[in-house]
Structure 1
Amino acid sequence: MKRQGIFPGVLLIGVGLIFLLQNYNIPYINNIFTWPSILLIIGLAFLFQAYIGKDYHSIFTGVLLVGLGIHFHGLQLFASWPTHWAMFTMIIGFAFLFRYSKTKKDGLIPGIILLLISLIAFFYNGFIDLFGSFYSYVDSFWPIALIIAGIYLLFFKK
């Protein structure tokens, strides 16, 4: 049985806590309660709706928003936080895998592919050093491979 009031309840509690804590002028709290905190709260509301309300399709959105909130907080708070674009594909890959782990439907293959793309991107320089000559050959053909894979998924995969 799905419970419908979980998402708005958690959202109101989270936003209320932000405003309440900002009224007390606690040191460093203004550094934490910025726009990424809103992403975290909305993402947590989706995750509570997914797990407590048994609405498992909300897992993807919840993990995506929580991951983005954590990433943007990390960028603000830590100088060594990675700024690479592969963080976004990694977050989306984890969102697919979390949803797959609960629903056992769609998401396993896209999640794994996105995580592999992220790993390759993070270790790009080492990858080029290891597979330099092969990479120079493949580099000109990988866009074509992506187009062919997309056409296959659109027209042939049912």
Structure 2
Amino acid sequence: MISILRVDDRLIHGQVAVVWSHYLGVNRIIVANDEILDNKVQIMALKMSVPDGVKPFFVSVEQGIKLMNNPKSANLKIMVVVNKPADALKIAQSVPNIPLINLGNYGRVGAENMKNKKQLSKNIFVTEDDEKVLKDLIATNIKVNVQPVPSDPDVQLSSLI
């Protein structure tokens, strides 16, 4: 069962691996990202961030959707991490029963041109295209929040757009 679908530029890092995984009690982290599959060094580094007792999977978005829709997944506590809203939208439209889409950190990593981005929160910077995708995410009727860590305020994305 999916506990959370998180959008985070950095994929797995301290906020994800330590804070959220412990808070949610997950035993699986699925990183659904088409680009990462070609970067074995990045996958190795991200695996080192995963706490003991949590099994990571690094798959394409399509493979991730198949994994999440597999009936065997219903017995697991899964955190799904993507690095862009478009991938979150694709998953949200293809996988039932996602309780929460969480925006943690987005728009700063690899961002050469910040002047074309709108700041929605301390950690969220979006282009016009990103904003359209985020509105589509809100339209899925899945709760979408901005909350870097569980102890931060739970801010509904709809209040920021």
Q: TM-score scaled to structure 1, two decimals?
A: 0.29
Larger-gyration structure (1/2) = 1
**Higher RCO (C-alpha under 8 Å, 6+ residues apart):** 2
| Structure (1 or 2) with the greater helix fraction | 1
Q: TM-score scaled to structure 2, two decimals?
A: 0.29
